[in-house]
């Protein structure tokens, strides 16, 4: 009996970061690579790695799939958030059963918060020059 290897892919975004995820089902222990390196080496913060792998932990599929992630743009926090959304969207493609579980944990919603633009007459988006009455 041969096991058919299937691959699923999706993309996600957070701030100015974009992540593309490829998930392959294997009989392995399940490996995760971010831009060709280990997640802990790439992000250098355990909190970001845990946040990124949350969809796999919620669905209890951490060892079922090999995950390859390409992230681009933004900082490490935005990249981890983009990867988390992309993993969640890809898991929904794998099985519709995961959708309710991921939705209940808020993992299928894109975080729409982005940097607010600077306005004229101000020093930053909201910071104004010091007011002098006289």
Q: What is the mean pLDDT of each run of 10 residues along the chain (134 residues)?
A: 77 95 84 94 95 94 92 95 96 93 94 93 95 91
Pairwise CA distance, residues 44 & 42, whole Å: 6
**Residue 3: predicted pLDDT:** 65
Task: Flag whether 131 is in a domain.
Answer: no
Structural domain includes residue 78: yes
Domain count, the chain: 1
- Asked if the structure places residue 87 within a domain, the reply is yes
Question: For residues 80, 84, 86 and 89, what is the CA-based torsion angle, rounded to 10 degrees?
Answer: -170
Residue 127 lies in a domain: no
Residue 49: which domain range?
7-105
- Predicted pLDDT of residue 1: 44
The CATH number covering residue 58 comes to 3.30.230.10
In the prediction, which pLDDT does 25 show? 86
Q: Classify residue 113: in a domain, yes or no.
A: no
Q: Is residue 1 part of a domain?
A: no
Q: pTM above the 0.85 mark?
A: yes
């Amino acid at each position: 009996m041969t096991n058919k290897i299937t691959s699923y892919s999706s993309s996600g975004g957070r701030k100015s970061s974009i992540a593309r995820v490829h998930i392959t089902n294997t009989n392995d222990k399940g490996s995760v690579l971010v831009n060709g390196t280990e997640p802990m080496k790439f992000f250098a913060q355990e909190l970001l790695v845990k946040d990124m792998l949350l969809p796999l932990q919620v669905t209890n599929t951490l060892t079922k799939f090999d995950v390859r992630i390409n992230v681009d743009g933004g900082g490490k926090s935005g990249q981890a958030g983009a990867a988390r959304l992309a993993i969640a969207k890809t898991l929904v493609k794998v099985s519709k059963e995961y959708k309710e579980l991921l939705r209940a944990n808020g993992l299928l919603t894109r975080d729409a918060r982005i940097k607010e633009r600077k306005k004229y007459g101000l020093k930053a988006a909201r910071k104004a020059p010091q007011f002098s009455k006289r």
